Amino acid sequence: MGRIARSPRKRPALPRRMMLAAAALILGAGGLAAVNFYASASEGGARGRAPAGHDMSSMRMVSTIDCPDVGNVLSTVPDSAKQRVDRRLADLDTQITDAYTKFADNKDRIQRDPGLADSMVLAPLKAKRTDSIGQIADATGRPDLNGKGLAACSMRAADAPQPGDPGDTQGSGPGDAQGDGQGDGQGDGQAAANAASAAASASGLSRRDFVDIRSVRPNAAAPAPRRGASTGTFTSDCGRNQNGKRNPDNVIVAPGVSNGAHHMHDYVGNQATDAFAGDADLARGATSCRNQGDRSTYYWPVVRVLNQGDDNDAQADGGGKDRNVGKIQTPVQATIQFVGSPVSKVTAMPRFLRIITGDAKAFTNGNANANASWSCTGFENRQLKDKYPLCPQGSKVVRTFRFQSCWDGRNTDSANHRTHVAFADRRGACPAGFKAIPQLVQRIVYDVPAKAGAFAVDSFPEQLHKPVTDHGDFIDVFSDQLMGKAVTCINTGRSCA
């Protein structure tokens, strides 16, 4: 690694250092990391050296906004308040999206003067969130929500680019399964790689969000079936969204709200699904499933390739307006299968049961509800939770969603859309008070370039398209007859479709 000459100015003037410290206090932990980074990079000595080949502009940190997830603290909501609460929760998501857009559009100014993050982004956001949370508190009879510190957000600093990250103009570095276009010459191959790097860097991705699947140790092991297990399967052929049904709604989390997801979803199964679809609409909706008794809704965020231009939603909600850009990829395969329990028989799901697996906000919320699982064909005993896989030649990217397989026996949904269902433990047993139901397993395969930064999943803008935010959604609209057939097949150890 080369050396960069020391700056003749060894230390910033005292007032400048005091301003940086004050800004750090304003911004909180995330801002402190960013301010310290820039302060050290401007000083002389070892701390002030930038990595070889980087000027300060290429070392700008990609940051985001970190807000408490109000929905996660709502374990119960009165039926009479549900519509109002759902609307206010959707407002909170829109407020974060708008604040992140304001931050991203003014990132250079904020990096020069970190104090602007508070006056321009965080303070106005807190004021809006305080009002929305107050309305939720009134609707739910929970005045304590106002005192939980849920309104205040902070800036979160992502990792600074390193040599080889997307956005690094000095070369590709190690770790790319296909050599990052080596052998493509200096023409189209390098141009495409540069385009992918630029797009990935703009979205917040880093080379460290990608890993060669061959470097991952096998880590996927299912519990062995015990006496009384239900070992059968039921497969529903619902296609792979060849007809391109997509929208940025989320009828489970934000019913009645257009663009409630702020990212685009692929749908298979029920063709009536949008933000305004109620149970009756789903019951009479057409389905892409071969067996017309399955009118269930299956949906997940789209995957985009970042170096092939933008799709037709570049100026639309959920697409470019929410910083989701690139070419949407139709899966080359999508398998919908229901499996049994390794320790017991399963019982029928109730019609209109809603299940969300994974956490669309896991990058800021943490991994408590994360359930992403990425791999490559031929390597599916190696699963990744917080990395995208780089697959060797001839292998394709695989997303697998294993949904919760335990139900509380009473509710088809819950206020936070999680507590009415649960995951089985390591042995495969359900928690006390829950009963085993057929477990939905979705396996979705893509043919995308094996280059770091070349593809990403859609996300809320402030989640920076991180792989850990991947998630899947399901609404059961099986006919009673077909659900009975599925349960019988699973409990008797047969494979049915």
Higher pLDDT: 27 or 108? It is 108
Instruction: Give yes or no for residue 238 having a pLDDT over 80.
Output: yes
Check residue 407 and give left, alpha or beta (phi > 0: left; psi -120 to 50: alpha): beta
Residue at 102 is within a domain:
yes
Domain range for 102 is 14-157
Answer yes or no: are the C-beta atoms of 344 and 436 closer than 8 Å.
Answer: yes
| Cβ count near 2 (within 10 Å) | 6
Q: Does residue 292 sit within a domain?
A: yes
**pLDDT higher than 50, residue 164:** no
Q: Mean pLDDT of all residues in the chain?
A: 84
User: Within this chain, do residues 96 and 224 fall inside the same structural domain, yes or no?
Assistant: no
For the cut 50, the answer to whether the pLDDT of residue 51 exceeds it is no
Query: Do 151 and 232 lie in a common domain?
Result: no
In a domain, 108, yes or no: yes
Percent of the chain with pLDDT over 90: 74
Structural domain contains residue 170: no
Q: What is the pLDDT of residue 59?
A: 31
Indicate whether 9 belongs to any domain.
no
Residue 175 pLDDT > 60: no
Q: Could you tell me which residue, 202 or 28, shows the higher pLDDT? A: 202
pLDDT at position 29 is: 35
For residue 279, pLDDT over 70 is answered with yes
**pLDDT tens digits for range 362-413:** 999 999 999 999 999 999 999 999 999 999 999 999 999 999 999 999 999 9
- 276 and 128 part of one domain: no
State residue 495 phi and psi, 5-degree precision: -110, 115
More confident residue, 370 or 22: 370
pLDDT confidence tier of residue 181, bands split at 50, 70 and 90: very low
Q: pLDDT tens digit string along 55-90?
A: 333 334 548 999 999 999 998 999 999 999 999 999
Amino acid code (one letter) for 149: G
Distance CA 351, CA 23 (A): 53
Number of domains in the chain: 2
Residues 234 and 302 in one domain: yes
Which residue has tokens 């749908």? 267
pLDDT at residue 300 in the model? 98
Mark which of 142, 157, 172 sits at the end of a domain: 157
CA gap 468, 463 in Å, rounded: 9
Mean pLDDT in residue range 412-438: 97
Instruction: Please state, in angstroms and rounded to a whole number, the distance separating the CA atoms of residues 114 and 30.
Output: 11
Of 189, 199, 201, give the one whose Cα is nearest residue 60: 201
Per-residue pLDDT averaged across 308-332, rounded? 96
pLDDT digits (tens, 9 = 90+) for 461-470: 999 999 999 9
Same domain flag for 119 and 251:
no
* pLDDT value of residue 157: 74
The whole-number average pLDDT for the span 444-464 is 97
| Same domain? 375 vs 481 | yes
Query: Which pLDDT belongs to residue 222?
Result: 87
Asked if 147 and 241 sit in the same domain, the reply is no
Cα separation of 382 and 59, whole Å? Answer: 33
Per residue in 93-118, pLDDT (tens digit) is 999 999 999 999 998 899 889 899 99
Residues 363 and 439 in one domain: yes
What average pLDDT does the segment 135-151 reach?
95
Question: Which pLDDT score, from 0 to 100, does residue 215 have?
Answer: 98
Q: What pLDDT, on a 0 to 100 scale, did the predictor assign at position 282?
A: 98
Does residue 4 sit within a domain?
no
**All residues at 6 or more sequence positions from 315 whose CB lies less than 8 Å from its CB, including other chains:** 321
Q: Which of 128, 157, 186 is the last residue of a domain?
A: 157
Residues in the chain: 497
Percent of the chain with pLDDT over 70: 78
| Residues 477, 400 share a domain | yes
pLDDT of residue 205: 87
pLDDT for position 156: 85
Assigned domain for 473 exists: yes
pLDDT over threshold 50, residue 344: yes
Question: In this predicted structure, what is the pLDDT of residue 194?
Answer: 58
Residue 472: which pLDDT band, with cuts at 50, 70 and 90?
Answer: very high
Evaluate if residue 20 carries a pLDDT over 70: no
Of 103, 128, 157, the last residue of a domain is: 157
- Are 218 and 131 in a shared domain? no
Q: Secondary structure of the chain in the HEC alphabet?
A: CCCCCCCCCCCCCHHHHHHHHHHHHHHHHHHHHHHHHHHHHCCCCHHHCCCCCCCHHHHCCCEEEECCCHHHHCCCCCHHHHHHHHHHHHHHHHHHHHHHHHHHHCHHHHHHCCCHHHHHHHHHHHHHHHHHHHHHHHHHCCHHHHHCCCCCCEEEECCCCCCCCCCCCCCCCCCCCCHHHCCCCCCHHHHHHHHHHHHHHHHCCCHHHEEEHHHCCCCCCCCCCCCCCCCCEEEECCCCCCCCCEECCCCCCCCCCCCCCCCCEEEEEECCCCCCCCHHHHHHCCECCCCCCECCEEEEECEEECCCCCCCCCCCCCCHHHCCCCEEECCCEEEEEEECCCCCCCCCCCCCCEEEEECCCHHHHCCCCCCCCEEECCCCCCCECCCEEECCCCCCEEEEEECCCEECCCCCCCCCCCCCEECCCCCCCCCCCCEECCEEEEEEEECCCCCCCCEEECCCHHHCCCHHHCEEEEECCECHHHHHHHHHHHHCCCEEC
Give the mean model confidence (pLDDT) for residues 169-193. Answer: 41
- Is there a domain that residue 296 lies in? yes
State whether 151 and 237 are in the same domain: no
Please give the Cα distance from 287 to 265 (Å, whole number).
Answer: 16
Per-residue pLDDT, 199: 59
Question: Is the sign of the CA dihedral 293, 295, 300, 306 positive or negative?
Answer: positive
Query: How far is 257 from 264, CA to CA, in rounded Å?
Result: 14
Verify that 114 and 215 share a domain, yes or no.
no
Tokens of 142: 């929970």
